[in-house]
A and B are shown apart, each in its own frame.
Chain A
């Protein structure tokens, strides 16, 4: 026993020093591993965003089917022509079927000059994209582009710098030609869908959270409900899509298509409407809203409830006048995060049948529709380069929409907090 205290089992001072310096080196290596991992995660985000920005700008090689200067006798650019001249060009170059359709939509003679120029540009000049480059190759790889132009380009091909995300892109309806495609129908579809989702899921989710936090005792049924909500939050969205397809689209079809109300907007009523999609997404985010609202309500101090009961308040009065106002900022923040998830969800929409080719704005609950994520999916999946550029532009629109929603959530939260303090 006495040996124990006198002998040093950790070696001489040199041993100790070596031991420590070895451990310090190992520590430094690990620290760099942790830094590196964190940098990779952050870099991934940066690259992701740069990649999208890069996709939304860049050079294109365009070739006109007919050069605009050859169209009029005086060889003037389109913008200098009169309405009559433009209509004459259209009548000379466009099929009669198309002319009839255009006249049906709005008689050519009544259209504005800008509209006519646009029509001639799309229908007659009809520029074709031969090749596209993203922003970074456009800046850093100019030589390769020039080489392509010199060797592979057909005569008459020009190089233009395109900004794919323009005001026209946002306000135009969908178009099979990527150069003229827009996301207006998709934005409107997404907004309709978000609205339905909120109206459906928010009251239900907050109600469930209030029950679970304020009323539920630890009974068997309530425990089942809790476990169930947790499990639901982990179910992949595609499963909700299948549920939506079989239940809202098919079984509830007569209602979700509006057929029973005689309100069907399409000639072929199916349940593949904005209503079905909105409800399905509502189911998808319901568990998320419940869980975040539960956390919000749980954060309300017990003393607040007790003081309300002390003044003779009933349970519901206490909840309505004290608990909900005190937790509303957090409930709202959680709900908006959940709605952002719904806004970006794609799989559910594909299954509940958001159509991909829709030119008409949604006008009621019962219309077929398309949404931003669907457009992005469709355009990304196309092999032609130009569609990828349009997809990148649409992604920026979607991300800005999500950012706006989150900024709105933060502003609302702060405003509610400030009001509560005053």
Chain B
């Protein structure tokens, strides 16, 4: 009796060791995600230090100059930043209103049947690889813009075409996140609005929309972050070569487009080009990280209100 008891405790102990090993392994998998972030920060930092430390580059020039021409050792980041602002700004002009209106349609107007096919269709739109959108920008959107505004005005590569197509790409992102926010508004608020004699439009736009505004803001910020980081569409359609311009019909290279062009070939390690790419990567990382953190903060805040 006592022997078997001893055995059983020993057995139990064994199980516990085995369980503990599994627990540690699973924790390690979860912690690996921290390692990725640390890896990104360390790598981007480490590889861009030589860039900023180089006598040919100064911080003041990097953030103050509107010329980026590595051949003549001009390293002002502004042309790349303005091009990024152009493409993502145009994208938001497209995807902000359209995405929001699609979300309102889905959440307030569409019947169950329409929703059941419309939502998968929008998912397809967001599941198509971005390089395909790049092809679309180059072979459809640019010729379209050129036929409307004239070949003299619209260059073959231009930020407008890239921006419009990025806009199409991020419509589903805005619409699905904004629809989540709208659907989270309790039905009782809609009833209250109808009960006071509100029309469907007044209920949707003057009660449901304001009640969901933080979630919608978060969806815009997430979409903006996605547009800023979008690479393939701009590298195919926006143009190769930094250009400080606010004309959407002219070619200009974005941060991402520049990184791809420079590192696309056989880039030599430890050259100024190589390190400049990491410095730009660091800048891009900080921009998108800030945007994502803002949206995250808004989302958690707005959840507190409704749950």
Contacts and interface: CB of A to CB of B under 8 A. Distances in A.
Say what secondary structure dominates the interface of chain B. Answer: helix
Which of A30, A227, A247, A343 has the most chain B CB atoms inside 10 A of its CB? Answer: A30
A241 B23 CA distance: 31
Nearest to A221: B31
A246 B278 contact: yes
Contact of A42 (B101, B118, B136): B118
Contact of A34 (B22, B109, B140, B171): B109
B43 A215 contact: no
Interface residues of B, number: 87
Nearest to A352: B263
Interface residues of A, number: 86
B222 A234 contact: yes
Interface string A28-63: 001101111110111011011001100100000000
B288 A37 contact: no
Given A38-B101, A207-B30, A391 B135 contact: yes
Contacts of A239: 40, 44, 229, 281, 284-285, 288
A204 B25 CA distance: 10
A41 B125 contact: yes
A238 B27 contact: no
A27 B23 contact: no
Contacts, number: 248
A239 to B, nearest CB: 5
B272 interface: no
B225 to A, nearest CB: 6
A95 interface: no
30 contacts: A24-B199, A30-B204, A41-B98, A41-B168, A45-B125, A48-B140, A52-B135, A52-B136, A207-B30, A225-B30, A227-B296, A228-B33, A230-B292, A230-B296, A234-B226, A236-B228, A236-B229, A239-B40, A243-B43, A247-B43, A343-B129, A344-B132, A346-B130, A347-B235, A350-B260, A373-B131, A377-B232, A377-B236, A380-B236, A381-B236
Interface of B: 15, 18-19, 22-23, 25-34, 36-37, 39-40, 43-44, 46-47, 97-98, 101-102, 104-106, 109, 118, 121-122, 124-125, 127-136, 138-140, 168, 171-172, 175, 199-202, 204-205, 222, 225-226, 228-232, 235-236, 256, 259-260, 263-264, 266, 269, 277-278, 281, 284-285, 288-289, 291-293, 296
